[in-house]
Amino acid sequence: MTPPTVTTVETSHGPVSYAQQGEGGPLVLLHSLLTDRRAFDRVISELPGRIIAIDLPGFGGTALTKPSIESYASLINSAVRAICGDEPVTLMGNGLGAFVGLGMAIGDGNMLDRLVLVGCGATFPEEARPAFGGMIEAVESGGLSAVTPIALRRIFTEQYLDAHPEEAEERSSIMAVTDPEAFIRACRALQRVDFRDRLADVEVPTLIIVGEEDQATPPQMAIELNDSMSASTLVILPGVAHAPQIQDPASFVSSLGHFLHRG
């Protein structure tokens, strides 16, 4: 596959930056809060179509927006419309990107052909929401380095980090260049998100993937999401955490099966 072309598209909500490579039907990739648009690089060669990896609000050259998943979805939806026109779009999101993708499906599902949600839910349990407030306070007082150790253990299992110290270094370097305000706004958006009463609006064929060891969006969230959607399938991957496409690319690609192939 040829190297990606990085560019920016202007929308009514502000600029959105993205990397594009390959040919065919568009496959839009949305990263998690704790990674960046390169989060799917280890599996891109196995994915079909024209890959469009978008920077979420506040990342790369993408504008900040209001701290709500609906605002994030509106901005990214505008960008995807500008990039892809009327082409049917497959969207794959991880973590924050998955919530944004779900928000797009609720708000403008007609543009989506297929949806892959990796580490997602309809909302966070009440007992999980204070964690976002804790991370916001830590960043406000000590910068992103204050939450990097927590972030690493929300992305990966302890065993994986012990066996791959270079991964911790790479993820730490990504966190170091992340805009603190972007991180804070995303935390507030996730803390408030609640799509439980709107899932009946989603008719897009959806594949829900979650790592068995995911601490950021535990499997129970994915199970409840799958139970509430009419056109979804759930896959739970053993031994991996919040970013299975990074931790275990082969298992992640295998879990996709033939879902991404149109026809």
Helix (H, G, I), strand (E, B) or coil at 20: strand
Tokens standing for residue 111? 């543009």
Q: Say which residue the tokens 């944004």 belong to.
A: 100
Q: Which two tokens stand for residue 115?
A: 């949806």
DSSP 3-state of 224: helix
- pLDDT of 110 higher than 90: no
Asked if residue 1 has pLDDT above 80, the reply is: no
* HEC readout, 104-173: HHHHHHHHEEEEEEECCCCECCHHHCHHHHHHHHHHHHHCHHHCHHHHHHHHCCHHHHHHCHHHHHHHHH
Question: Any idea what DSSP says for residue 198?
Answer: G
> Is the separation of the CB atoms in 48 and 261 below 8 Å?
yes
pLDDT greater than 60 at residue 32? yes
Band of residue 69 on the pLDDT scale cut at 50, 70, 90:
very high
Distance from chain centroid for Cα 83: 19
202-259: pLDDT as tens digits: 999 999 999 999 999 999 999 999 999 999 999 999 999 999 999 999 999 999 999 9
- How do residues 158-208 score in pLDDT, each as one tens digit? 999 999 999 888 888 888 889 999 999 999 999 999 999 999 889 999 999
Exposure of 19 in the CB half-sphere (CA atoms within 13 A): 17
How does the average pLDDT of the chain come out, rounded?
94
Please state, in angstroms and rounded to a whole number, the distance separating the CA atoms of residues 169 and 248. Answer: 18
CA angle at 236 for the pair 247 and 148, rounded to the nearest 5° = 40
**Residue ranges per structural domain of the chain:** 6-256
Best CATH choice for the domain 6-256 from the list 1.10.3720.10, 3.50.50.60, 3.30.365.10, 3.40.50.1820: 3.40.50.1820
